[in-house]
Structure 1
Amino acid sequence: MKIYTFHRKQKFPISLDEAWNFLSDPKNLKIITPDYMGFNIESGADRPLYAGQIIQYIVTPILGIKTKWVSKITQVKHKEYFVDEQLYGPYSLWDHKHFIKEIKDGVEFEDIIHYKVPLGILGQMAHPFLVKPKLEEIFEYRQKKLTELFGEYKS
């Protein structure tokens, strides 16, 4: 069983309050997800994040295949971090830690994802050509969208 790690940091020229308010609203995930992924929240996004929250959505990650994804927010520390885990969806394991911290003239977002692809050795063979590039593409899109929303960090 191979568990992969994806790590990304991004900086933005906004306050900690503004950053937390954006990140802690599950409805904003649609804004920072590429349109072609057909991201649509079905339930659970009616209030800001809290530990134990279940969020269900539909996403089309690859080849136009619609997939149900169910996440549980397992931990929340106000204005510092939250963790979501996939209960049901395309990965065999998905543990996503979202950290936020105040820095000079802005904030830094840090994402650490531990994940396992399905289909055993076939999934592992597809990882470098399909899964990893798709995650990188999604986070590049997020960087671009968040920069459009909040401006470019310069320091």
Structure 2
Amino acid sequence: MATYERETYVDAPLEDVWEFHSRIAGLEALTPRWMGLSIRAVRGPNGEPDPAVLEAGAEIDMTLGPLGLPGDSWTSVITERTSSDERGLFKDEMHGGPFARWVHVHQFSREGEGTKIRDTVHYELPDPVRATSPLAVVGFEPMFRYRHRKTKELLEG
């Protein structure tokens, strides 16, 4: 399985960064418009619609259509979520979607007065028929560069 990683420092308290990333509004704010994100439904671990916090077991049904291309549908499931005074971690996995496998680990750690953010994506590209999927073509670097820059912009004030 291939791996992509990106790390950045945000001059904002861990608590603020963690809370921001724990809500669907955070995902929407950090996804570039050119990715064509459309959230179809969000369910909590017990099936409740639109939970305030994305706990382990929450599901997000979405469509992504980068650069105006036809969208790929997928469901992202929060499979793990833990936090302490010094760090936080949540993991989401793609269930149905354009990749053969996708596991995204979001890590947050207190660094002085700020927070270090690390995104790690473990993925397998789809079979040759799906290799032309817009998500497979666009790549990770532009999207994650945007996400980290936008996180700094929104949370550093």
TM range (shorter): 0.7 to 0.9
- What's the TM-score once normalised by structure 1's chain length? 0.84
* Total equivalences in the alignment: 145
1:92 matches 2:97: no
Query: Structure 2: where are the runs of 5+ without partners?
Result: 44-49
- The equivalent residue for 1:6 is 4
Runs (4 or more) in structure 1 with deviation over 6 Å come to: none
Query: Structure 1: where are the runs of 5+ without partners?
Result: none
Q: Which amino acid aligns with 1:21?
A: E
Pick from 81, 102, 106: which aligns with 2:110? 102
Residue by residue, what CA displacement relative to the aligned partner does 1:65-124 show, whole Å, maximum 9, x if unpaired?
21111011111103510110000111100011111110022001111110011125994x
- The equivalent residue for 1:29 is 27
1:59 matches 2:67: no
Following superposition, the deviation at residue 26 of structure 1 comes to: 2.0
- Write out aligned runs for 1:1-150 (5 A): 3-44=1-42, 46-47=50-51, 48-61=53-66, 64-78=69-83, 80-120=88-128, 123=131, 131=136, 134-150=139-155
Distance 1:122 1:51 in 2: 29
* Pairwise CA RMSD: 2.3
Q: Does structure 2 conserve the Cα–Cα contact (< 8 Å) formed by 1:61 and 1:67?
A: no
Following superposition, the deviation at residue 41 of structure 1 comes to: 1.0
Distance 1:104 1:59 in 2: 36
- What's the TM-score once normalised by structure 2's chain length? 0.83
Q: Does structure 2 conserve the Cα–Cα contact (< 8 Å) formed by 1:27 and 1:41?
A: no
